[in-house]
A and B are shown apart, each in its own frame.
Chain A
Amino acid sequence: MAAEAQEISTAAVVSSRPTSRLVIDKATKIYQTTTGPLLALDSFSAEIHEGEFVCVVGPSGCGKTTLLWALSGLHPLTSGVVMLDGTPVKGPRPEIGMVFQEANLLPWRNLMKNILFPFEIKRLDATRYQARIQHLLETVGLAGFENKFPRELSGGMQQRASLVRCLSFDPSVILLDEPFGALDAFTRDEMNLLLLKLWSEQRKTIVFITHSIVEALFMADRILVMTPRPGRLAREVMVDLPRPRTLDMQSSPYFVETAREIKELIYASIKK
C-alpha cells in the first residue's frame, strides 16, 4: 500500500498526462486598427506532433506572438482553425501552459503564491501537486526562495519561476513566447539547457517562439521560419542534431551552415 502510494506520487512528479498534438489549418488573423485592417497572420498551416519541440523563428512583427495567442485560445482567429487533440481551440484550455515575454510574475505575490496562482484560477487543489511543485523548484534551483518577492529575484530566477508556474499544473502543451529574450547571453544559455532538461524529463509538446536563429536551432526538433507582414510560413527546417544538446554543437559546421541558410531566407523575405 505504502509502496503503491509512493509510486503514484513519483509518477505525478515526472511523468504526466499524455502529450498533445496541435494542428493549425489556414490560420489567418486580421487586426482592425485605427489605420485600417492589418493582416498579421496569413493562411498559416502546420502540424505539431506529440512531444515535439518546435521553434517558430522570424523577425519582429512577423506575427509570431499572434500565432502563439491563437494556439493558446487567447485570441480568436479571423479565419482558419487550431485543433488540439482533435477539438478546435476556441478559448483557453486547461491542457495548455504559457510562458510569457519577461517572466510576467505578479509583483504583489511571493514566489510560492505566484506558482499557486494558476491553481487559484483553475480552482485546483494545490496540495495534490505539492510533490510536483517541490520537485520543479529543486530542478530549477529555486528551492528555499519560496517567500521571496519577484523584485528580490534576478531576471533569470524570475523566468525560472515562471517555468515552474507553467509546469506546476502539468499541462500537456507548453507555449513559450520569447521567454528568454530579455536575459543576458549566459543566463539565456543556462535557461535553454534547463528547459531542455525539463522537456526531456516531462516530454511536453512545446512551441517556442524566438527571434534568435541560434536559439531555435539549439532547442528544436523542427523550426518553422516565418516571413514578416503578413506572417506566412516560409519554410520548415528539420534540425538534425543529436540529443541531449550541448553548447559546443553551436560551433559545428552543420549548425553554422543551417543558421546561415535560415538567416538568408529571412533577409530575402524582408527585402521583398
Chain B
Amino acid sequence: MADELLETIPEFRKDTDVKPQDEGFMDWTALTHVPTARNRREFLIIVGVAVVVVATIELLIRAFQVPNYVLPAPSSIFNALVNNFETLLPHIGVTLQELVGGYLIGATIGILLAGVVTQVPLVEKIITPYIILLVTTPMLALVPLLVLRLGFGLEPRIVAVALAVGPMVMINSATGFRRTDLAKIALARSYGANTLQIFYKIRFPIALPMIIVGLMVGGIFGLLTAVGAEMVGGGAGLGNRLVYYSSLARMEAFFATILIIALIGITMYVIFFLIGKKWASWEA
C-alpha cells in the first residue's frame, strides 16, 4: 500500500530499500542477459562456427555410417522436415493452440494475482507456499486426471499449460512487485499521487523486468507441459507425433518434430528477449 510510507523512518539507503540487483527468490538473469554479437564480424564468426559444427556432424555420421535409428544426419532430418511438413502442420496448430490458450490464461492470472497479493504482505505469505508447490510439482503429473475430467480434447492440455505457466509468472512478478523503492514512491506522493497512480507509474515499471523474466520462463515451462501432455495421452499435437514416429522408428521425422518444437521455443524466447530489451533495458 502507498501508506507504508506513513510510518517508515525515511532512511532509504539502508536495508529498507530493495535495490534491483538483489533478487528474492529467482533470478533468471542467465536467460535475460545473454551475450550477443557486437558487430558484423562477430556475427559472421558465430554463424560460421554453427555451420561448421553442423557440417562436421553430417560428415562424421556419413563417414562412420551411423545407422539412422541411432542418429540421422542433419540433411536427412531437414529432408524429413520438408517432406512431412504438410502432415505435421495440423499438429503444430494443435500444440500452438494449447500453448497460447493456456499461456494467456496462466500469465494473466499470474500477473494479476502477483499485483494484488503483494499489496498485502500477510496474504502473500499465506499463499506463497501453495504457489511454490505448484511451481515445483510438474503439472504433467496431473494430465491423466485432467483427461478423465475434461475429456480428450484440447481442454485438459490447456489447463495443464495454464497451471504450469501461471505460478511461474506469478512468483517472478511477485518478486518484481515486492521491489518497493520508497524514495520513488515518496516522490510520486509528494506530487499528490494516489494509490492507483503509484501502482501504474512506479510499482508496475519497477516490477516490469521481473514480469518479463516470468513471462519468458513461463513460456518455456508452458511449451514443455504442452508437448509432455500430448505425449502422455492425446490424439494430436507435436508430442503425440514424437511418440508416433519413435514407435515406427522413423527417426528423421522424429528429429524433424523436435526441430519444430525447438523453433517454437526459440521464437518465444526471442520475442521476450526483444520485449525485455525494449521495456526493461533501463535496468541493465
Residues of chain A having any CB pair with chain B under 8 Å: 31-33, 38, 40, 65-66, 69, 72, 74-76, 91-94, 96-98, 100-102, 104, 106-108, 117-118, 120-122, 149-151
Contact = CB atoms under 8 A, between A and B. Distances in A.
Q: A interface, by DSSP: helix, strand, loop or mixed?
A: mixed
Q: What class of interface size applies to chain B in its complex with A?
A: 20 to 34
A137 B187 CA distance: 20
B186 A33 contact: no
B197 interface: yes
Contacts of A32: 7
Contacts of A40: 9
24 contacts: A65-B10, A66-B9, A69-B10, A74-B190, A75-B6, A75-B7, A75-B10, A76-B6, A91-B192, A92-B189, A93-B192, A94-B192, A98-B187, A98-B190, A102-B13, A102-B183, A104-B183, A106-B202, A107-B283, A108-B205, A108-B208, A118-B191, A120-B201, A151-B282
A74 B184 contact: no
A76 B6 CA distance: 7
Contact of A100 (B6, B183, B201): B183
B188 interface: yes
B152 interface: no
Interface of B: 5-7, 9-13, 183-184, 186-193, 197, 201-202, 205, 208, 279, 282-283
Consensus secondary structure, chain B interface: helix
A42 to B, nearest CB: 15
Contacts of B205: 106, 108
Given A101-B13, A107-B282, A151-B282, A121 B201 contact: yes
Contacts of A33: 9
Nearest to B280: A108
A30 B187 CA distance: 22
Given A31-B7, A120-B201, A121-B201, A72 B12 contact: no
Contact of A101 (B12, B191, B192, B208): B12
